Amino acid sequence: MKRYSAFALAREAFRNHQGWERAWRDAQPKKHYDAIIVGAGGHGLASAYYLGKNHGIRNVAIIEKGWLGGGNTGRNTTIIRSNYLQDPSAAIYEKSRSLYETLSQDLNYNIMYSPRGVMMLAQTEHEVRGYRRTAHANALQGVDTTFISPKKVKELVPIIELKGPRYPVLGALWQERAGTARHDAVAWGYARACSDMGMDVIQKCEVTGIQREGGRVTGVSTTKGDIGCNKLGIVVAGHSGHLAEMAGFRLPIESVALQALVSEPIKPCMDVVVMANTVHGYMSQSDKGEMVIGGGADGYNNYTQRGSFHHIEETVRALCETFPMISRLKMLRQWGGIVDMTGDRSPILSKTPVENVFINCGWGTGGFKAIPGSGWGFAELMAKGHSPLTEAFGLERFREGRFVDESVAAGVAH
Amino acid sequence: MLILECPYCGVKADETELHPGGEAHLTRFGPGSSDDAFESYLFMRANPKGVHFERWRHAHGCGKWFHAARCTVTLEVFGTYSAQTTEPPSDIIEKIAARRPGWAKESQA
Amino acid sequence: MSTRLAKGGRLIDRATTHRFTFNGRQMQGYAGDTLASALLAGDQMLVGRSFKYHRPRGIVASGAEEPNALVGLGSGNTFEPNQRVTVTELFDGLEAQSQNHWPSLEFDVGAINAKLSRFLPAGFYYKTFIHPRPFWKHVYEPFIRKSAGLGKAPDKEARDPDTYEHFYAHVDVLVIGGGVAGLQAAKVAAQSGGKVLLIEQNAHWGGRAPVDGGTVDGAEADAWVSATLEELEGMANVTLRARTMGAGLYDHGYATAYERVSDHAPGSDAPRHRLWRIRAGQIVTATGAIERPLSFAGNDIPGVMLASAARDFAVNYAVSPGDRTVVVTNNDDAYRTALALKSLGLSVPAVIDARANGGGALMAEAEAQGIRVLKGKGIAKVQGGARVTGVEICAQAGEGATQETIACDAVAMSGGWSPVVHLWSHIGGKLTWDETENFFRPDPERAPITHDGSAIVTAVGAANGHLGLSEIVSDATSGTTSALKRIGLSVDAAAPEASPRDEAPMEPVWLMPQGAKRALRAKAWLDFQNDVKVTDVQLAAQEGYVSVEHTKRYTTLGMATDQGKLSNINGLAILSQALGEGIPQVGTTTFRPPYTPISLASIAGEAKGELFQPIRRTALHSWHEENGAEWEPVGHWRRPFAYRKPGESTHDAVTRECVATRESLGLLDASTLGKILVKGPDAGRFMDMLYTNMMSSLKPGFCRYGLMCSENGFLMDDGVVARIDEDTFLCHTTTGGAERIHAHMEEWLQTEWWDWKVWVLNVTEQYTQIGVVGPKSRAVLEKLGTEGIGKDDLPFMRWIDGNVGGIPARIFRISFSGELSFEIAVAANRGRELWGKLIEAGQEFNVTPYGTEAMHVLRAEKGFIMIGEETDGTIIPQDLGLHWAISKKKEDYIGKRAQERSFMDNPERWQLVGLETTDGSKLPDGAYAVAPGNNANGQVNTQGRVTSSYHSAALGRPIAMGLVHNGPDRMGEVIEFAMTDGSRVPAKITGTIFFDPEGEKQNV
């Protein structure tokens, strides 16, 4: 792989960029792999990458029904934070955040991690209590957060209105080292690095069956033929139920539409990411200048990647109250993604009833920020059979009543 | 922005009047049931790409719960019916079968 | 130069002059002008700078598809960035500023980027700015952010003074687009008797036809439009709205439309924008088509515009785009521009037709008018910098060698037309590639469907791929007739006669000339605003970003504020050529709402300020307000947190309220607590399922504290239940829980135990409930004439019907403070009267209203749990030492099975205890108790946390409760709580009852 750098860019500039090679090879499937990952979204690609990088498993195929990064990896609001309350969540999201910090260098692909800071507004006494508790928990989890005053909030976010008539800002949970990254670049960077390790990224290849022998996986049937494997990782978000059914087990998952929107681009006016859970809205400004706004999820099963207008309405009106100067900006585009919600709204990274089949799903509304950590932990789980990062996220927790519930800290949205 | 007809009051209700309630026709498992049965009752959910039987409440209307048969991919509604039943009525099943040749209720996951 | 012609202009009123400023320069135009036509009339072709290279940008289009000409409008509180001048109606006093340049539009330092463009190909930022790591945050990104963004941000303290509103419409047929097709569709729909809404995004009706000419029903298009409009206006079942854009289509016939009510008339009383929320039985999209640019070198230089736009400016506004306009085309339609300009006396040095054989009848007419036509030719490159000065002509079939140079100051280009399929696609309508016209058109076999599986959207006219007037009216007639049939409406409508299309076929030209060398391709723009060139798309393909979505995201093609209206198809064609695949195989990116950007304020509508969310008020709300209440939002209610007296801090007020209540008499507005009636022969059985306790054994006249769990086993609410009679229970819930618990009851009754004879009713708002609390509570009630409340008449946890101060009341002897205490429930409309009487009668007892904080302190002193503090959705009653409230006799209750799971039925769970710091400090809420060592993820181990922490006035020291691992077995042990600054505070584990452990104060 030719490395990317300012020097390489200059060199190519003088030969009209004819020398750039494909970012990832256009691979066709081999007969057999040590491991197959189904799903070339961020989580699938990251899982493959760390299988190779951390565990030396490089005879790997990543199989994708559509185009890589074409699911929720490319449809989210790109927020990266780790200020979670429960230990297992904080562990995996903080691992993820710390990996994001150096990911551009690791992948030799600028994923534009921008540690601009994320704040979660406390607008009721209940939220104040919840976020203070989170700050206490984070201090012991190695997650650097503080509960800040309204005055500090205004310093960081000059466009905010602190004294909204309905929900005044009483403070905020502030994570300075949280931020955003360029979502597509995360998928592309991992894909390029996987391909460089000799892995096959196979697009437009749909899995149609999972082959088993004696309760153990032997391979997959696909639209590009049968492919054998020793281990199989299913990382397909909203389509997990479908794949699980092929493998003969069920999941505690429902797929619903989550919506987001962007405004037209304007010059920088808000450097940090602000989340306001009481009024169900969050907003940041992209490097392009668009205000990126996340909204609510529908409560019913939906695979249309569209959502209901009233969610957009609720979010926008809340944000117009919180940031009155956006009133005259215009919505450029709204879209929906299909998110896979579990019974406790936390992800599943787990072994399954089929030997050597592993599943990584259920990231719900918060998957993007977890991509590197999820990949790191899931690769370890696939390679070694266990990982401290994924231990609490096993499927068995639903049977045991051992949930990882983040709604506790008033954290409705991610 | 779905519209579902409430089978109780007959109102063709906008989604904003309704409260979704997840998969329909679950059998409750209480004390004495197996771990498997209880886990399945509480958490395992049909999540089909296609015909889905689900619960709704006409929350900002007559307040009644009802069931709907709906396609999660096209958002077609095959019908709504009483919540006080343990399985979809035959006329709804026939309607689905007519519109989805080859479909069978058992095939859903 | 561009200028105003002496005569003509069908949309302007020369009698009314509007003065406006552009970058401070005084200019003027006429009523009926758009800002675009007025700018061009004043020879202001240069109107902005592009996003990436800061290239000079001129007006390209005449309508909603304009990518370049975006300005900041207004100032201060009414400043609006990124407004397209082509859809901005001119008004007197308009202020506009161009965007994305420094220090000025004419001299922009950022234009250096254009010189460096060879270093800045598509996706360059993914390949660089990687090292050194801190530089991204501190150097590169701040620079990129500053140079990105288009318009200025509004002032941080800007407050929009305008109003916005929502309209709701339910119609049989929604017709979107007021051109010939839309008017004909509306006319047909109206004949059915159905309710019709016709909307048009522009201020004027008729679409392209009045400019392009032709006849309908024997009349000139213009006249037919006026007559049809008049006819429709006279019909009671038709609503017409101009300046109203079909913004988005959603499922089941839902649509939004964006009406710009008073943008053109600022200062009027009308709202600025109105968002229409429409439910339609059928939707007809008559949204027309958009002309495509051609990809040749220098096609972005100001003065190059769409042929249709040049024609529009000339005919509608009497504005010439230039003195000498070269027309370049691959189709016949552009000849109309040549003819129109010529007829206005302007010079058209040549029409460059890429087709080897040129065009048909329109070409013949042009040639007859003396216009030179060059066949099989193309533009090798446009000359000029900030303005076109000439074009170099080459063979279209060649590589771009210049054969001739023609001096000109404007270029009118046409690469053919693309139907506006956006709305069709919003809800899943599929497209098909038309091999003749070389565009995507709606595939009628795969139309968007609605609830019953039938088609909901019908595209008609140019939006459906028909470009001739005759075809358009006939398609609108038949399409609308079919749409009506689907909703049971019928018409017998015939399409009027109209001019047939007499044009030679277009030929696809995706690159001009077809073999353009790299130097030319690197100057051939696809996306004018985002600076995406032909070479960028080719580079994306070379690097493997071959999915159309990858290409779009890698190059940013089509991601500008015009969302690719001009660029998408051309970019797609370049990609498909690079991949050697057909255009339909490559496919399109997804069309998303809105069609063009709509204001955020219009989406928010009226819901701002006080109207943002309703506030629920108890009958005593205004009294609290008048008496210093500091509010705490609880659900949609507001409850007094404390009543501050002048000069008092909140802490002082809470202390005063606690002391007065413990010593004499406090009053609490408890009206917000939920009150739910459960009634019927099976009420007892139902109550036993709802609560963990045995409720069916409760006797009428008695009260019992009860716990409710979710089916997942977690504690969800608590409160006192009173049995009213054999068939009736009254359940008190938490303030936040009333609606939720009521819904929970209904759900179980309707969906699980539907054969049980039970009815539930939420009567929360029917009562005012007042806590009369403290040693003097009985005295004050007796003073108000209440009888039967003596120690033995009304023991603890009993209730009676009685009266207080002559007001019929239900009197509960219950306590959430450990004091002698009564809760008095009266009809809500007598609540204020009762409160007044209690305040008056209580004067001699130092009656003190207290708020939620004092209530919390009093309950914590007694070790009473609070839902939301001791619980958080992960707590089961067993964690809180509430085993006594869980019936061992019952076979079942909601949550019982869940609590038998291994992780719930587990002695290792943290349990509730009291906590007393050894240094006398107050523990912070939410602090965790540390345990030795770290876990496998390196996190400090914990063994408990604080759930409630208060300063106790009665004890004169802080008190706290918390959940601790094996807590109840570790009384007296000292554990350490971690502060966020890293320090540790030791605290002793104690019992949870801090005050009056024997309960002597309550039982008097």
pLDDT of residue C514: 96
C779 and chain B in contact, CB less than 8 A: no
Q: How many CB atoms lie within 10 A of CB A328?
A: 26
C604 and chain A in contact, CB less than 8 A: yes
Nearest by Cα to C434 from C341, C312, C569: C569
Q: Mean pLDDT over residues C275-284, rounded?
A: 98
Flag whether A240 is in a domain. yes
Residues in A touching B1 (Cβ below 8 Å): 308-310
Q: Do C547 and A184 touch (CB under 8 A)?
A: no
Higher pLDDT, C166 or C135: C166
Same domain for A224 and A142? no
C-alpha span between B100 and C117 (Å, rounded): 55
Same domain for A260 and A243? no
User: Least CA distance to B85: which residue of chain C?
Assistant: C751
Residues in B touching C900 (Cβ below 8 Å): 31
Interface of A with B in 169-198 (CB under 8 A): none
Flag whether A8 is in a domain. no
C712 and chain B in contact, CB less than 8 A: yes
Q: Do B43 and A300 touch (CB under 8 A)?
A: no
Same domain for A124 and A210? no
In the chain, the amino acid numbered C55 is: R
Residues in A touching B43 (Cβ below 8 Å): 252, 343, 398
Q: Do A255 and B52 touch (CB under 8 A)?
A: no
What structural domains does chain C harbor? 1-157 (3.10.20.440), 164-289+419-486 (3.50.50.60), 293-415 (3.50.50.60), 518-581 (1.10.10.1100), 675-764 (3.30.70.1400), 907-990 (2.40.30.110)
Q: Mean pLDDT over residues C322-341, rounded?
A: 98
Interface of C with A in 632-661 (CB under 8 A): 632-633, 641
Nearest by Cα to C291 from C565, C589, C615: C565
Residues in C touching B64 (Cβ below 8 Å): 750
Q: Do B44 and A255 touch (CB under 8 A)?
A: no
Q: Which of C253, C254, C452 sits opposite B76 (nearest CB)?
A: C452
C254 and chain B in contact, CB less than 8 A: yes
Q: How many CB atoms lie within 10 A of CB C316?
A: 21
Residue at a domain's end among A297, A320, A342: A342
pLDDT of residue C643: 98
Residue at a domain's end among A342, A370, A388: A342
Same domain for A168 and A294? yes
Long-range CB contacts for residues C943-946, cutoff 8 Å, separation at least 24: C943/C910, C943/C975, C944/C910, C944/C975, C945/A133, C945/A136, C945/C910, C946/C915, C946/C977
Nearest by Cα to C532 from C354, C353, C290, C293: C293
Is there a cis peptide before residue C302, judged by omega within 30 degrees of 0?
A: no
C-alpha span between C256 and C241 (Å, rounded): 13
pLDDT of residue C115: 82
Identify the sign of the CA torsion C318, C323, C329, C333.
Answer: positive
Q: Do B42 and A250 touch (CB under 8 A)?
A: no
pLDDT of residue A411: 37
ipTM of the complex: 0.97
Same domain for A82 and A38? yes
A398 and chain B in contact, CB less than 8 A: yes
User: Least CA distance to A299: which residue of chain B?
Assistant: B20
Residues in A touching C874 (Cβ below 8 Å): 403, 405, 408
Q: Mean pLDDT over residues C826-835, rounded?
A: 98
Flag whether A125 is in a domain. yes
Question: What distance, in Å, lies between the first and last C-alpha atoms of chain C?
Answer: 98
Mode of pairing for the β-strands spanning B19-23 and B51-57: antiparallel
Q: Locate tokens 């239940």: which residue?
A: C721
CA distance A240 to chain B (A): 9
Question: What distance, in Å, lies between the first and last C-alpha atoms of chain B?
Answer: 25
A324 and chain C in contact, CB less than 8 A: yes
Question: What distance, in Å, lies between the first and last C-alpha atoms of chain A?
Answer: 36
Q: Mean pLDDT over residues C608-616, rounded?
A: 90
Chain B and chain C share a number of CB contacts under 8 A equal to 65
pLDDT of residue C419: 98
Residue at a domain's end among A320, A342, A364: A342
Residues in A touching B49 (Cβ below 8 Å): 239, 242, 303
User: Least CA distance to A132: which residue of chain C?
Assistant: C926
Which value, to the nearest 10 degrees, does the dihedral of the CA atoms of residues C878, C882, C887, C892 take?
Answer: -40
Check if the beta carbon of residue C650 is closer than 8 Å to that of residue C748: no
Range of the domain at A227: 29-109+182-253+344-409
pLDDT in tens, C916-956: 999 999 999 999 999 999 999 999 999 999 999 999 999 99
Check if the beta carbon of residue C784 is closer than 8 Å to that of residue C803: no
Same domain for A97 and A186? yes
Same domain for A73 and A143? no
C-alpha span between C736 and C636 (Å, rounded): 8
C-alpha span between A403 and A413 (Å, rounded): 18
Residue C453 has pLDDT above 80, yes or no: yes
What would the two tokens of residue A279 be?
A: 């009024």
Identify the sign of the CA torsion A414, B2, B7, B9.
Answer: positive
Same domain for A165 and A264? yes
Same domain for A249 and A259? no
A302 and chain B in contact, CB less than 8 A: yes
Same domain for A246 and A270? no
Same domain for A233 and A102? yes
Which value, to the nearest 10 degrees, does the dihedral of the CA atoms of residues A120, A413, C637, C724 take?
Answer: -140
Residue C116 has pLDDT above 90, yes or no: no
CA distance C583 to chain A (A): 17
Residue B109 has pLDDT above 70, yes or no: no
Same domain for A248 and A298? no
Q: C254, C450, C451, C892: which to substitute to probe chain B, counting the most B Cβ within 10 Å? A: C451
Domain with residue A172: its CATH number is: 3.30.9.10
User: Least CA distance to A396: which residue of chain B?
Assistant: B39
A283 and chain B in contact, CB less than 8 A: no
Q: Mean pLDDT over residues C49-55, rounded?
A: 90
Q: Do A185 and C277 touch (CB under 8 A)?
A: no
Neighbours of chain C (3+ CB pairs under 8 A): A, B
Domain with residue A35: its CATH number is: 3.50.50.60
Cβ burial of C226 (10 Å; 0-12, 13-18, 19+) is middle
Which of 3.10.20.30, 3.30.2270.10, 3.90.1150.180, 1.10.940.10 is the CATH number of B3-107?
3.30.2270.10
φ, ψ dihedrals at C735, nearest 5°: -60, -45
| Predicted TM-score (pTM) above 0.90 | yes
Nearest by Cα to A171 from A156, A186, A187: A156
Interface of B with A in 9-68 (CB under 8 A): 15-16, 19-20, 22-23, 35-36, 38-40, 42-45, 47-49, 52, 54, 56
pLDDT in tens, C167-221: 999 999 999 999 999 999 999 999 999 999 999 999 999 999 999 999 999 999 9
pLDDT of residue B106: 57
Interface of B with C in 22-41 (CB under 8 A): 28-33, 35, 38
Q: Do A301 and B109 touch (CB under 8 A)?
A: no
Residues in C touching B30 (Cβ below 8 Å): 892, 896-897
Flag whether A9 is in a domain. no
CA distance B13 to chain C (A): 11
Neighbours of chain A (3+ CB pairs under 8 A): B, C
User: Least CA distance to B109: which residue of chain A?
Assistant: A245
Flag whether A59 is in a domain. yes
Q: B47, B72, B74: which to substitute to probe chain A, counting the most A Cβ within 10 Å? A: B47
- What is the three-class DSSP state of A15? coil
B72 and chain A in contact, CB less than 8 A: yes
Q: Which of B22, B73, B109 sits opposite A303 (nearest CB)?
A: B73
CA distance A399 to chain B (A): 5
Residue C148 has pLDDT above 80, yes or no: no
Give the pLDDT band (50/70/90) at residue B107.
Answer: very low
Flag whether A1 is in a domain. no
User: Least CA distance to A137: which residue of chain C?
Assistant: C928
Q: Across-strand partners of C930? A: C942
Q: Locate tokens 């957009």: which residue?
A: A312
pLDDT (tens place) for every residue of chain A, 414 residues total: 789 999 999 999 999 999 999 999 999 999 999 999 999 999 999 999 999 999 999 999 999 999 999 999 998 999 999 999 999 999 999 999 999 999 999 999 999 999 999 999 999 888 999 999 999 999 999 999 999 999 999 999 999 999 987 889 999 999 999 999 999 999 999 999 999 999 999 999 999 999 999 999 999 999 999 999 999 999 999 889 889 999 999 999 999 999 999 999 999 999 999 999 888 889 999 999 999 999 888 889 999 988 789 999 999 999 999 999 999 999 999 999 999 999 999 999 999 999 999 999 999 988 999 999 999 999 999 999 999 999 999 999 999 999 998 876 543 333
Q: Percentage of residues in chain C with pLDDT exceeding 70?
A: 100
Flag whether A333 is in a domain. yes
Flag whether A20 is in a domain. no
Q: Do A405 and C873 touch (CB under 8 A)?
A: yes
CA distance A242 to chain B (A): 8
pLDDT of residue B55: 98
φ, ψ dihedrals at C854, nearest 5°: -65, -40
Q: Do A299 and B20 touch (CB under 8 A)?
A: yes
What is the number of structural domains in chain A? 2
